[in-house]
Structure 1
Amino acid sequence: MSIKTPFKRVEGLGSAKDGTEHFWRQRLTALANVPLIIAFVWIVVSLNGEDHATVAATFANPFVAVVMLLVIVSALYHAKLGMQVVIEDYIHGELAKYALLVANIFFTFGIAVLAVFAILKMGFGS
Structure 2
Amino acid sequence: MNFMTDRKRAQGLGAGSEGTQHHWKMMVTSICLVVLVPLFVFTFGSALGGTREEVLAFFARPFPALITAIGLVVGLYHIKMEIDEAVEDYVHGIACKLTLIAVKAVTYTLMAVGLFALLKLAL
Smaller-chain TM-score bracket? 0.7 to 0.9
Q: Which deviations, in whole Å up to 9, do the C-alpha atoms of 1:34-64 show, x marking residues without a partner? A: 1111111102221221111111111000111
Structure 1 length normalisation: TM-score? 0.83
Q: How many angstroms apart in 1 are the aligned matches of 2:75 and 2:45? A: 18
RMSD: 1.5
Q: How many angstroms apart in 1 are the aligned matches of 2:61 and 2:41? A: 17
Paired position in structure 1 for 2:9: none
Paired position in structure 1 for 2:55: 55
Q: Which deviations, in whole Å up to 9, do the C-alpha atoms of 1:8-47 show, x marking residues without a partner? A: xxxxxx9533111011101100100111111111022212
Unaligned runs of 5+ in 1: 1-6, 8-13
Segments ≥4 residues shifted beyond 2 Å = 14-17
Paired position in structure 2 for 1:103: 102
Paired position in structure 2 for 1:25: 25
Paired position in structure 2 for 1:76: 76
Paired position in structure 1 for 2:7: none
Of all paired residues, the percent bearing the same amino acid is: 33
2:113 alignment partner AA: L
SS in 2 for 1:16: coil
1:34 alignment partner AA: V
SS in 2 for 1:17: coil
Q: Which has the larger radius of gyration?
A: 1
Structure 2 length normalisation: TM-score? 0.85
Q: Which has the higher contact order (CA 8 A, sep 6+)?
A: 1
1:118 alignment partner AA: A
Paired position in structure 2 for 1:116: 115
